[in-house]
Amino acid sequence: MNIYVANIAYSAQDQDLRELFEAYGEVTSAKIIMDKATNRSRGFGFVEMANDDNGRAAIEATNGSSFHGRDLVVNEARPRTEGARPGGFRGNDRGGYRNDRGDRGDRGGYRRDEY
């Protein structure tokens, strides 16, 4: 079972997260997600447990519990949606005005129908 863990203290390490969840069963992996630019924790991570029943028990026990001075938010991880990209961009849509023909509309100056 894959478990999503949020509100993790920035001081916590992967091993700390692993030890917290090992009290409820075999932990296959425990990973705190790091920011690539700053190499600092992003405050959330994932724990994978070998047994689903143990995973559910761990979720029940750790959700809302204090860990390194912060109350954790713990639930079953949802699979990533198809086409999801970091940063929230969808395809080539970078914002701005587009009419139904697909162009960006009037950018200033005069309009032909006004003279």
**Residue type (1 letter), 38:** T
The pLDDT score that the predictor gives to residue 79 is: 85
pLDDT digits (tens, 9 = 90+) for 40-55: 999 999 999 999 999 9
Residues 22-45, mean pLDDT to the nearest whole number: 96
Give 9's contacts (C-beta < 8 A, 6+ positions apart). 43, 67, 68, 69, 70
Structure tokens given for 21: 């969840």
Domains recognised in the chain with CATH numbers: 2-76 (3.30.70.330)
What distance in Å separates the CA atoms of residue 49 and residue 93, rounded to the nearest whole number?
Answer: 38
**26 pLDDT above the threshold of 90:** yes
Per-residue 3-state assignment (H helix, E strand, C coil) for 47-76 = EEECCHHHHHHHHHHHCCCEECCEECEEEE
pLDDT at 59: 97
What pLDDT does 94 receive?
A: 55
Select the more confidently predicted residue: 46 or 113: 46
pLDDT at position 84 is 58
Residues facing residue 34 across a β-bridge:
41
pLDDT value of position 91: 54
Q: pLDDT at position 6, please?
A: 97
pLDDT digits (tens, 9 = 90+) for 46-102: 999 999 999 999 999 999 999 999 999 999 999 877 665 555 555 555 555 555 555
